[in-house]
Each structure stands twice: as C-alpha cells, then as structure tokens.
Structure 1
Amino acid sequence: MNKVILTCLGALLTMQGFAQNAKPAKPNIILILADDLGYSDLGAYGSEIKTPNLDRLANEGLRLKEFYNNSICAPTRASLLTGQYQHKAGVGYFANDLGIPAYQGYLNKESLTLAEVLKTQGYSTLMSGKWHVAGKEVSFPWQRGFDHVMMSENGSYFDQGDFEGGKKRAYTIDGKPYPLEAGKFYQTDVITENAVKFLDQNPKDKPFFLYLAYTAPHWPLHALPEDIAKYKGRYDKGWDVLRAERIKKQKELGIIDEKSSISEKDADIYNWNKLSFDQRSQWAKKMEIFAAMVDRLDQGIGQVLNKLKATGADKNTIILFISDNGAPAEDLVKWYKGAVRNSGPVGTIGSYESQSKNWSYASNSPLKAFKDYMYEGGISSPFIAWYPAKIKPGTLKKGTGHIIDIAPTFYDLAGATYPKSYQGITPNTLAGKSLLPVLFGNDNELKRDEPLFWERAGNRAVRAGKWKLVSTWPGYNWELYNLETDRGETTNVARQNHDVVSRLSVAYFDWAKRTGVVDFATLEAKEPQSMKEFRKSKVQEAVSEGFGF
C-alpha cells in the first residue's frame, strides 16, 4: 500500500515539474486597422455612432489618450508593418515612386514585416483587407511572410470597376483573382468573412497573427440601407452641435481633461445655420452614411470576437485597434478632376463622394486639422488594447505611443528576437519601443530615449515630453505647443521658448539625416498632380453658392 502511495506521489510530482517547466502558449495576436477614422468616431472616444463591440473591448481592456500614426495611409502602413519610420521602409512620401530609395513607394527588403518575424516563431500569418505598400510587382503580402491573404484595394464598396479603370481586380486571395459580382457584395463584409474563415481554418495548436485592415470608413461614402436607416435624422443638427456633444462626452469619459484647450474652428468650415434646408439635408445624409460605415465595421469585429470565443482562442488572444490617420479634409466632388464617377444618390453603387472637411471637423474632436497634417487631428488615433489575461478592464492611460512601437510590442509578446540577419539581408534596426510596460504594467506613458518625429510631403513635427514642434509645407517656420495644457494647439509659444525650438529642431534634422528624409522642395517636381491637388484640397465654395462661412 505504501509503495502504491509513493508511486502515485512520485508521478504527481513529476507531472507538476513538467507543468512548471512547460512554456506558456504564445498569445494569438490580432491587429485591426481602420482607414480615415477620426479620433472621436467610436463610442469609447465620445461618438454617438453605435460601436458596441469596440466599446466592449475598450471597457474590458485599455484605451490610450495619445497614440500616433503617420497622418496618411501608405506611410502609416509601412511603419505599422515594419516598426520603421516610413522613410527607412521605403514609403517616405506615399505609394508613389519618386526615384529615391526612401521614397520608392513600397516596402524595401531591409524592413522586415510583422509576418516575416512572427512566422519564425511558429505563427500562422493571416491577413484580410487593405495592403497599399506594394509596387513594381514586389512586396505584396504573400511575398512578405503572410500564409493566407485576402487583399482588397481601396475603391467602391459595391463593385470593382473603379479600380485602375477596371484593368485590375480589386480583390485577390493569395495573389490570385477573387471574382465578386457587382452589387452582390459589400467590401467591409468581404474583409470580415475572409478573416473569420482564416481563423476557423487555423490549426488549434498553432498561434496566429491576424492583420485585419478594413478600408472603412474611407471614402467613397457607401453603406448598406439597413445600416443607414439607424442614423436617419441623427445629424440634422449639424457639425457644430455634433462636435459639442462629442467633446462633452469625451470629458465625461476622461479622454480629454476639463482644462485642456479645444481646437479652433477653421474659417472655411461652413456655417450650418446659413445653409438652405436642401443643403442641410444633403450634408446630413453624408454623415448618416459615414456613421453606417463605421457601424458595419464594428459589426464585423463582433463576428471576429464570436469566432474567437467559439474556437476557444479568446482566452489567449490580444487585440489592438487603431486608425491609419485622422479624418480627411478632401472633398471628392471638388478635388483634382472631380469624382471618379458620381451617377447615383450618395451611398449607392453609382455614387462617389466624401464626408469632407465639414464633418471631419467633428470626427477629429477636439483636435486641430485633418489627415495629412502634422497637427494632432492628422496624426492622432484611438487606441484600444484587449487581453483579458493581462490587461486590467477599464484602463485609461496617456500612453503617447506610436505605430513604430507596435512591432517591438508584438515581438516582446511572442518572445521573438528581432533577427540581425534575414535571408542574407541585414535588417534595419527597430525604431520604436515595446508598449508592454504601459499595457500590462503601471507606466502611464511610454518612456523613450529620443523624441518622436514626423515628415510627410514637407509637413514636419517633433514630440518630446509636453512639447510639440510643428511646421506646415510650404512654410519652414516652426510652431511650438505645450500639449499638457493645449492639446488643441491653439497657442504657439515658440517665441517664448527659443531654447526648446532650437533643441528640438536640431534633433529633427539629425533624425532626418539618419532616416533618409529629403527636403521636399527637391521632390515636389516629381509629385503626381493628383497628390498636389490632394494637399490643397480644402472646401472653398464661394459664398455666392449659398453655403456661407
């Protein structure tokens, strides 16, 4: 009897030893990216738009008050996917080749992608959605470490005929054409459906990395009738009232401080009270559709969450949600050669319109400016992190994170060592820092060895502690803001702080030299005309048209 007891006890101790020595399972990782979503466009950041799934992730996880992107689509994606400043990754300007390596318009081989690194750690690497960092038939996701890919390019949400004049298909699966019948699909749903399918097919014993890159709510304004109907009449009060409502809620949520400044209204934002009844109705309809697009995106995230729970993967999955830039100022009807097409009511398959600067003024509440600017409204994103095993519910922190920090965060989570050599190439070193001390620890914001820097088409910025240095092309003058009290960037204090301006500007030019930034004056001649117009795309209809200012 004693021998039996001793034998059982020995077996039990052996099993405990194995359990103690066994490595914990690597966490599954989901990175969700929205396109052209403003800082305040989620319920958890002050919005009236119905986003229950993202709000749930925020309430059960963490939000950051300050998280930065690169102000525009392709440069943000380049940094997000590689952990490099966009110039180092080859996408210094946009998805255009300006004839210089830092501005070639697609990812270079020296900048390893999240998929390439995580794949070395045994991860399945999955992607569904927008890529926008390939060129010259190279650097597509299936060439840069992803196992399974459904790629959708920007354009109509209901058909593929507007993408490069119909010469190329806007949808592919693992590099092969993915035929979809016009009017029989909705792009956001296609992205969600394929993400869910990839998760369902992933081996149960293999960790996965899913890059879920929605095109919504980027223009054109296209939405499903049942989603639009939810918001009928909601925006009849106009953008000024909406902005005030959102700011009030942001203060209640703690997203902005009661004493913090609020950005000032641009002179060319229309005066809602001077619009005619028909004009107000047309503008309100645009925002109803925009809200419906965000709503459908959130519904898709809900489907992903349901699949995680059904497979049991939710118990060991971290989810991060961000946007690629602030809400946009461009008005497609006025921009460059006009809309690609516009033959039907706004929101339908034949239409091609945008919410424009007027509604984006509310979307970016309480911040200044818009997509492509280096003011807070252009580079600030909502940031939600959810990981029940590690993140305390309802956490709200300052953060001051940046997209270059995502890669080191994921590698930290996966226990990955960033390679010094990869397929005969010496990779660029990572520029950011792991966010884990903020996400899991007690740190309120990320501690850095040097400031954060930005440059895009001549627009520049530096962030160091409470200070933010900004200049807007074609000017070279620096503006300085104290973001501790002036997040709205209302008071330029450069003249009162010459030493700070000098110190941060010297740091900027040192960074620019190290990173491959070229003075935009030497590149402007190579800039495509459409992009020149994009930078100038401000809503400036004459008062004689009856809009007023």
Structure 2
Amino acid sequence: MKWIAALLLLCPLLNAAESKPNIVFIIADDLGWADVAFHGGNAPTPHLDQLAREGLELTHHYVAPVCSPTRTGLMTGRCWSRFGVTTPQSTRALRWDTVTLPRALKSVGYDTCITGKWHLGSKPEWGPNHFGFDHSYGSLGGGVGPYDHHYKKGSLTETWHRNEKLLTETGHVTDLITKEACEWLAARKDAPFFLYVPFTAVHLPVKEPAEWLAKVPVGITGDVPRHYAACVMHLDAAVGQIVATLEKNGKRDKTLLIFTSDNGGSTAENNGQTYPADDYPEGALPGNNKPLRDQKGSVYEGGTRVACIASWPGTLKAGKHDAPVQIIDWMPTFCALAGFKPQQNLKWDGINLWPQLAEGAAPPTRTLYTVAPGFKSRSLRCDPWKLVVHGADEKVKFELYDILADPNETNDLAAQQPDQLATMKERLNVMAKADRDAVAND
C-alpha cells in the first residue's frame, strides 16, 4: 500500500482529474487588454498581477466583441451566433432546453451560483435560476449604475435581484457582488462548487467611492480617467477578497480559478447613454487595448483578445500559454474535469483545454470564428492567418492578416495572397453554416 500512496503523491494531475475541482470563473466587463498592470496598465492591480505571476496566463484568449455573446459562449460551449446572439441582449438568449454549463455541473453534484451580471434575459422568469444556477444575485440586465443599480431607462430599469425577486440595496455594485460571492463561498461544505462572478466593472457609467479615488496614482489626471483607474483598482481588490475567502476556507488548492474580460476596452462617453441620472463624471472612458487594434464591438484584436489567467496552486504550473483559445472552450474543459458526460451531442464548438494547460499536450490546429453585432463583421483565425470580413452581399470587404507576424493587424495581405484568401473564405462558409441553428424561439 505504501507504493500506491507514493505514486499518488507524485501524480497531482492524476489526483486532480479523478476528483471534482471547485471552479470559480471571474469575468470583468469591458476591461481592456492593457487596463491591467501586468500588461502595462497605469492603475496598480497587485492581486491580478500575483495571479498572473503565479498562475498560467493565456496570452491569446478570445471572446466576443460585446457582452451577451461572450456570456452565451461561456454558458453553452458554442459560438454565440448559433443562438442568433450577437448584440447586448435583454430578451431571453437561450432555448429552455439548453444544456448550460451550470446545468451540466449541477447534474454531477456541483453547487452552482452566479453573483453579478447575467444579461441573457432581463426578466426574472428568464433569469439564471432557470438555467442551472442554485443561487443568483445581481443584475439580470447589463451594466448598471454603481450606486442605484439601475439599468438603462425603460421597462427593464429595475434589474437588481436575488433568486428571481427584484430588490433594492445600498452600496457600490462591486462591493455588493463581492460580498455575496464571499458569503456564498463561506457557506460551502463538502460538495464541489461552481461560482460565476461576472462583475459590472469597468463598464460605464463609472463612479467610484472617495476612498478608491484617493488611491489613484497622481500621474493619472482627468475626472473620468481617475474614476476609471479607481474602478480597475476596486475590481482588483474584489478579486483579492474572493481568493482570500478560498484560502480561509481551505478551498484554494482544490479550486481552479479563471479571470478574464467579456470584450475589449471601451472609449464610449461615460455619461452618454440612457442611464438614470446619478451625477456621473463626463468624458470618454480610457479603455486601453494597446498595442492591439481597435476596441469593444470590433472583430479586430482589440475587441476580442483579452487578458486571461488560469490559477490552480499545486496543479497548474506558472507560465504563459500562447496557443489561441476561446471563451467557448471553458465549458468542455470544466465538464471534462467534473466528469460530466453529455447524453446527447451538444454540438460544442469549443474544446477541452486541459491537456494543453496542465499536461503539456500540443495544441491542435484550430479555426476560431467570431461574429460581431448584427453579423456586420466577422473574423476567422486559423494560424498563421486571420480573415476579417466587413459587410455583406455586394458590399462585402475582405482583409487578410498574418496574425503571428502581424498581431496588431497593420498589413492587409488580401491582395497579395489570393490563394490563402480563398481558403479562408471557404473555412468561413463552413463555420457559418451552423449560425442560428439554436435560436430561442421556443
């Protein structure tokens, strides 16, 4: 028996695969590639820096250009365009019978919780509790005012809820989301858990407490830039609180934690949308995606390539993973770790990343498909090439980039590489065939 114990001690990856890890998935809202200090950001992010330094950074992690599509991809393991979801969406995004990530994990014994922004159906009857979450709290709709917790003016302004019941609470949105997450974690017993924490930071409108504004480096000037930096720092501290709660409860070394963003950073007007008035500072957001091209809403790298960290002490080695991956990969990965085996073909577009991330397996050749709002732009990455498509029908425009040699997309090679362009067009047509095959019209 001694040799068996010794073998197990030498095989932490085997132990991890045979047990059911806890999973914490934290996603920021509109956080730009270079908004974090470990990518050169001007606001200090010590907790995220530590996660990046001690964990595994996924340097080519892709999401959708905007929020609801990214969340659809995470919840289903499929491209968001399969559900016809390409824009921020208040109507129900998913079919009632969709096997979502929390439903899958719940079926193999997981406790499931979301605390934060849902944005896949803004009425309580379309909320997270109907799609596999035992406990839900936060915004049913999109980003909300940080103090009044209201969504945009209209019939869905009231959106703050707990388990389908709308409620009114006081406090800053980042603090409320974090408090609920930590209290839920503190109550966990022996069952494995999946905690999904979709923060509203740093989505507009930003307005931070005086205590956080006082911590902003003096070199950051201007009203909105200072509030934005404070928002980034506040978010970083919230992540630190969640990690500290896992450590206090003895769950940290049993937990796979992922941190990422739902799309690239934004430069929209902070007080320029139809949120109820709450004395928001005026000016453009300073979302920073440099050196990547463009921003939120775009299929260029600045809209879809975001910071991502995978952290599991004792199991994942520190370092960088440079192969292209996408938000749709997390459901197959988590399900494999949890031991969930689908009873039917779930038509996943994503793949199980674990052999790459933990076991050093060579990344497979992949084609990553991205659809922008309204299908007005699309992209396809199949290394070394990236195809960018704008428009449709007779007004369509194709661009082709060597994304490995030209990651900032400065040199369009479509005219010089007609054969490669034709091949990428064919791949695009194949990927697009499944679009809208699961639209929520039931």
Secondary structure in structure 1 of the residue aligned to 2:214:
helix
The answer to whether structure 1 residue 315 and structure 2 residue 253 are counterparts is yes
Shift of 1:169: 3.0
SS at match of 2:296: coil
Q: Note if contact 2:145-2:275 (Cα within 8 Å) is conserved in structure 1.
A: no
The answer to whether the aligner puts 1:109 opposite 2:103 as a matched pair is: no
Given the two structures, how large is their TM-score scaled by the length of structure 1? 0.73
Residue matched to 2:229 = 291
Equivalent residue for 1:509, pick from 429, 433, 436: 429
Q: Residue 405 of structure 2 corresponds to which residue in structure 1?
A: 485
* Aligned residue in 2 for 1:194: 180
Out of 108, 120, 130, the residue aligned to residue 133 of structure 1 is 120
- Deviation per CA, 1:394-416, whole angstroms, max 9, x where unpaired? x0121211011011111111122
Query: Kindly tell me: are residues 161 and 433 of structure 1, through their superposed partners in 2, closer, same or farther at Cα, counting changes over 3 Å?
Result: closer
Check if 1:451 corresponds to 2:386. Answer: no
**Alignment partner of 1:52 out of 46, 57, 71:** 46
Say if 1:123 and 1:386 are closer, same or farther in 2 by CA, change over 3 A: same
2-structure distance, mates of 1:286, 1:508: 40
Q: Say whether the 8 Å CA contact 2:153–2:275 is kept in structure 1.
A: no
- 1:59-85 deviation line (CA, Å, top 9, x unaligned): 111112211001101011000111111
Distance in 1, Cα, partners of 2:78 & 2:125: 19
- 1:504 deviation in Å? 0.9
Where does 1:226-245 land on structure 2 (aligned, <5 Å)? 226-231=211-216, 233-236=218-221
**Alignment of structure 1 residues 130-209 onto 2, 5 Å:** 130-134=117-121, 138-152=125-139, 153=141, 154-161=143-150, 163-165=152-154, 169-181=158-170, 185-203=171-189, 205-209=190-194
Shift of 1:290: 0.6
Q: Indicate how the Cα distance of structure 1 residues 354 and 172 shifts in structure 2: closer, same or farther if over 3 A, else same.
A: farther
Per the TM alignment, residue 381 of structure 1 is displaced from its structure 2 partner at its CA by 0.7
Q: Which residue of 2 aligns with 1:222?
A: 207
For structure 1, which runs of at least 5 residues remain unmatched after alignment?
1-11, 98-104, 237-283, 343-348, 421-426, 519-549
2:109 alignment counterpart: 122
TM-score, scaled relative to structure 2: 0.89
The one of 363, 381, 389 aligned to 1:463: 381
Report SS of the residue matched to 1:328: coil
Alpha-carbon offset, residue 492 of structure 1:
0.4
CA contact (8 A) 2:32 2:265 kept: yes
Which amino acid is the alignment partner of residue 188 of structure 1?
T
Change beyond 3 A, Cα 1:436–1:39:
same
Pairing 1:326–2:264 present: yes
Mapped contact 2:79–2:328 kept (Cα < 8 A): yes
Task: Please point out which of 69, 75, 80 is paired with 2:74.
Answer: 80
After superposition, residues 393-408 of structure 1 pair within 5 angstroms as 393=318, 395-408=319-332
2:280 paired with 1:351 = yes
Which residue of the partner structure matches residue 360 of structure 2? 442
1:219/1:353 contact within 8 Å kept: no
Q: Which amino acid letter does the alignment assign opposite residue 129 of structure 1?
A: G
Which residue identity is paired with 1:403?
I
Aligned to 2:316: 391
User: Aligned-pair distance for 1:298?
Assistant: 1.0
Q: 1:40 aligns with which of 29, 34, 39?
A: 34
Q: Report the CA distance between 1:168 and its aligned residue.
A: 5.0
Give distance in 1, aligned partners of 2:200 and 2:361: 33
Distance 1:166 1:351, change over 3 A: farther
Deviation of the 1:135 alpha carbon:
5.5
Does the 8 Å contact 1:470/1:480 carry over to 2?
A: yes
**Corresponding residue of 1:66:** 60
Residue 175 of structure 1 aligns with an amino acid whose one-letter code is: E
**SS across alignment from 1:489:** coil
Distance (Å, rounded) in 1 between the aligned partners of 2:41 and 2:161: 34
Whether 1:417 aligns to 2:341 is yes
- With over 3 angstroms needed to count, the CA separation of the structure-2 counterparts of 1:321 and 1:49, relative to structure 1, is same
Give the count of matched residue pairs: 426
Q: Paired residue for 1:5?
A: none
- 2-structure distance, mates of 1:339, 1:145: 32
Looking at structure 2, the residues matched to 120 and 171 of structure 1 have their Cα atoms a distance apart, in angstroms, of 28
Q: Which of residues 334, 348, 372 in structure 2 aligns to 1:430? A: 348
Q: Is the 8 A contact 2:122 2:159 kept in 1?
A: no
* CA distance in structure 2 between the partners assigned to 1:136 and 1:308 by the alignment: 32
CA shift, 1:499, in A, is: 0.8
Counterpart amino acid of residue 185 in structure 2: L
* Contact 1:220–1:354, Cα closer than 8 Å, also in 2: no
Aligned-partner Cα distance in 2 for 1:137–1:179? 15
Question: CA offsets, 1:358-410, max 9 Å, x none?
Answer: x23xx1010001111110001111010001121112x0121211011011111
Quote the RMSD (CA, aligned, Å).
2.7
Alpha-carbon offset, residue 354 of structure 1 = 5.9
Question: Which amino acid letter does the alignment assign opposite residue 378 of structure 1?
Answer: G
Q: CA deviation at 1:93?
A: 3.9
Q: Quick one: which amino acid aligns to residue 294 of structure 1?
A: V
Partners of 1:163 and 1:170 within 8 A in 2: no
1:28 correspondence with 2:25:
no
Q: Is 1:340 matched up with 2:275?
A: yes
Distance change >3 Å, CA 332–CA 302, structure 1 → 2? closer
Cα distance per residue 1:189-221 (max 9 Å; x no partner): 000000001111122x11100001100000002
Matching of residues 249-264 of structure 1 within 5 Å: none
Matches of 1:135 and 1:298 in 2, distance apart? Answer: 27
Q: Is the 8 A contact 2:123 2:156 kept in 1?
A: no
What is the percentage of aligned positions where both structures have the same residue? 31
Would the aligned equivalents of 1:32 and 1:212 in 2 still touch at CA under 8 Å? yes
How far apart are residue 149 of structure 1 and its match?
1.1
Unaligned runs of 5+ in 2: none
CA positional deviation for 1:16: 6.8
SS in 2 for 1:29: strand
SS in 1 for 2:215: helix
Bigger Rg, which one: 1
- Pick closer, same or farther for the CA change 1:455–1:440 going to 2, 3 Å: same
CA separation of 1:314 and 1:354: change in aligned 2, threshold 3 A: farther
